[in-house]
Structure 1
Amino acid sequence: MVPNIEIFKSRGVGMEQIIRHIYNFPRFLLHSPNDMKKFVKKVDEMGTCRSSKMFIHAVRIVSSMKDENWELKLKYFSNLGFSEDDIFKMFEKTPHVFAVSQRKLKNVKEFLLETGKYDISSIVSHPIPFLCSLEKNIKPRMQVLGILESRNLIGKWPSLSTITVMSDSKFLEKFVHPYSNEVGEVYMANNVLNSKRTTKIGIK
């Protein structure tokens, strides 16, 4: 483990991040130093900046797959319509999406494009939707926003990052509470809220 810690330290990864990975992903740092250097090299080749906080996460994601599975994942992203540059950008921003199943990648990408609100470039800039629940997070929020838009209650459609990164409490505060008569029941019906949050909406 110590040689691997030194590999990351020599590449600018802080001890706080390394320690966090020791606790959360202990097996990750048990790879042989030679293998770890290969994983690091692969991440370097994809253009992920070593100073990025995502660097060690990117190396861990690469280490979790066999070479053939990694190549298949890259090919699948390409088949979904992402260019090599798109793929590298998403990997640098959110390497965790490369651990997502092919089925989910396809479903999320198709749903977002079918809404007509986002395009490939939107997804490349904000890959987080691939990590969210399509049924419990993305669809209910899009439905709420669709209702608000149809009634001219929102002036501008929110960005993809707003849709997916915003917490339930913030989404409620901005898009549900002020229009509870119009969308409150819709939001609840999709089982997005637990019982405690439901009592706070004030829907009768």
Structure 2
Amino acid sequence: MLWLRCCGLTQLLSFRSASTISQLSRLISAAVSPNPSFAVEDYLVSTCGLTRAQALKASAKLSHLKSPSKPDAVLAFLAGLGLSAADVAALVARDPLFLCAKVEKTLAPNVAELTGLGLSLSQIARLVSLPSVTFRYRSIVSTLEYFLPLFRSSENLLRALPRAGGSILGSNLERVVKPNVAFLRECGLGACDIARLCIPTPSLLSISTERIRTAVACVEGLGVPRGSRMFKHALQVVAFLSEEKITTKVEHLKKTFKWSDAEVGIAVSKAPKLLTMSIESLQRRSEFLISEVGLEMTYIVYRPAMLMYSLEGRLRPRYYVVKFLKENGLLSRNRDYYSAVKITEKEFVEKFICPHKDAAPHLADDYGAACRGEVPARFSFT
């Protein structure tokens, strides 16, 4: 088996000097040998772990291979780096030409330089496994050299890349990424702000600067000024919505909650993700909060976060508990509903359930049932 023949390649884990790369060359030469009857499709199935269908598709890009020596060397490199057989199969199926990469001139030097930038071998292995990451090119090093300080740490960058599908690594640094970063700084965002903005939405760096400028103008038009605490959150949302969708959602908010343009601006400035919620989910929450709970429209304007909480798992069950406690004289009738909704589950139980275990011993069970979508008899009021 190739993996057994390459066991001596554990020295790949050092990758820290030119002498190590020379040792790698000698180890690979000893581990592999030409095969005059080499069949690419069979090799992809038996050695790389691809399915027959995957191998048939991949082999079209590898028809020039007449020997397993080069792919064997690449597989030896990947094994030494710590990739699992499943990771290797996925990588080869996605990018068959990776098997033609030059270990000595490209792959090993990439690892050496990336460890020099502070990445661990396990992090490099994760990087190699990511879709759309072109590790078989030397340019990956200079690209990461720019992005690492931007994202503040290698772990932050590795968390962000899957969300972008690796697209930011393929974006032109000089024409796209750097102008975008410069404009974000013009908007008053510091290094930490940009990192926090781009970790969840890294694609923001790869869209056109003109699109970001349009998004910023839209955010400001919604009443969220540059420099405000919610500016970067609103930008995350608006940058990937069309003007038509934003207009439609704003009109729906005005119609559903009878809000003015100014009130929509207040609500969106406090909870920008309102613009990503479906019309149906907003409608259901408005009907419950206004018709059943009896909240005023203006009350919701200044507390729009409640519209993003789960109706079945949070809003409704907690309302039942609060109403039960008030009806039975266990809670002041002046106690604000939102104060019970905004806190964590643990805090809610500690403040609204546990103190009443003697006066209302079934309250915890009833609350649990309400969270499952049931309405216990004790929560039915006339």
Cα deviations by residue, 1:50-86 (Å, 9 ceiling, x for unpaired): 1212101111211121121111111111211221111
Q: Please say if residues 118 and 160 of structure 1, whose CA atoms lie closer than 8 Å, have aligned partners that are also in contact.
A: no
Return the match for 1:138 from 315, 338, 360.
315
Q: CA RMSD in A?
A: 1.6
Aligned equivalents of 1:92, 1:15: Cα separation in 2? 22
1:158: how far off?
A: 3.6
Stretch of structure 1 that moved more, 94-103 or 20-29: 20-29
Return the match for 1:171 from 328, 341, 348.
348
Aligned equivalents of 2:348, 2:303: Cα separation in 1? 18
Q: Which residue of 2 aligns with 1:190?
A: 370
Q: Which residue of 1 aligns with 2:183?
A: 7
Return the match for 1:40 from 212, 216, 219.
216
1:22: how far off?
A: 2.0
Which structure would you say has the larger RCO, counting Cα contacts within 8 Å and 6 or more residues apart? Answer: 1
Structure 1, unpaired ranges of 5+: 193-204
Aligned equivalents of 1:164, 1:13: Cα separation in 2? 32
1:116: how far off?
A: 4.3
Q: Which residue of 2 aligns with 1:66?
A: 242
| SS state at 2:295 partner | coil
Cα deviations by residue, 1:114-166 (Å, 9 ceiling, x for unpaired): 23442111110000112110000110000001110110111144435423320
Structure 2, unpaired ranges of 5+: 1-176, 373-382
Alignment-mate amino acid for residue 183 of structure 1: L
Aligned equivalents of 1:160, 1:25: Cα separation in 2? 33
**TM-score between the two structures when normalised by the length of structure 2:** 0.48
Aligned equivalents of 1:47, 1:31: Cα separation in 2? 23
Aligned equivalents of 2:275, 2:331: Cα separation in 1? 34
1:100 equivalent in alignment to 2:283: no
Aligned equivalents of 1:158, 1:14: Cα separation in 2? 40
Alignment-mate amino acid for residue 21 of structure 1: L
1:43: how far off?
A: 1.1
Stretch of structure 1 that moved more, 9-18 or 34-43: 9-18
1:28: how far off?
A: 2.1
Q: Which residue of 1 aligns with 2:263?
A: 86
| C-alpha spacing 1:2/1:174, structure 2 compared with 1 (3 Å) | same
Return the match for 1:150 from 327, 333, 337.
327
1:5: how far off?
A: 1.8
Q: Please say if residues 128 and 164 of structure 1, whose CA atoms lie closer than 8 Å, have aligned partners that are also in contact.
A: no
Q: Structure 1 stretches (4+) deviating beyond 6 angstroms?
A: none
1:182: how far off?
A: 4.6
Q: Please say if residues 322 and 337 of structure 2, whose CA atoms lie closer than 8 Å, have aligned partners that are also in contact.
A: no
Q: Which residue of 2 aligns with 1:52?
A: 228
Q: Please say if residues 138 and 163 of structure 1, whose CA atoms lie closer than 8 Å, have aligned partners that are also in contact.
A: no
Q: Please say if residues 270 and 305 of structure 2, whose CA atoms lie closer than 8 Å, have aligned partners that are also in contact.
A: no
| SS state at 1:64 partner | coil
Cα deviations by residue, 1:3-28 (Å, 9 ceiling, x for unpaired): 22222211212321211222221112
Aligned equivalents of 1:191, 1:147: Cα separation in 2? 15
| C-alpha spacing 1:29/1:159, structure 2 compared with 1 (3 Å) | farther
Aligned equivalents of 1:168, 1:106: Cα separation in 2? 25
Aligned equivalents of 1:2, 1:54: Cα separation in 2? 23
Alignment-mate amino acid for residue 186 of structure 1: D
* Structure whose CA Rg is larger: 2
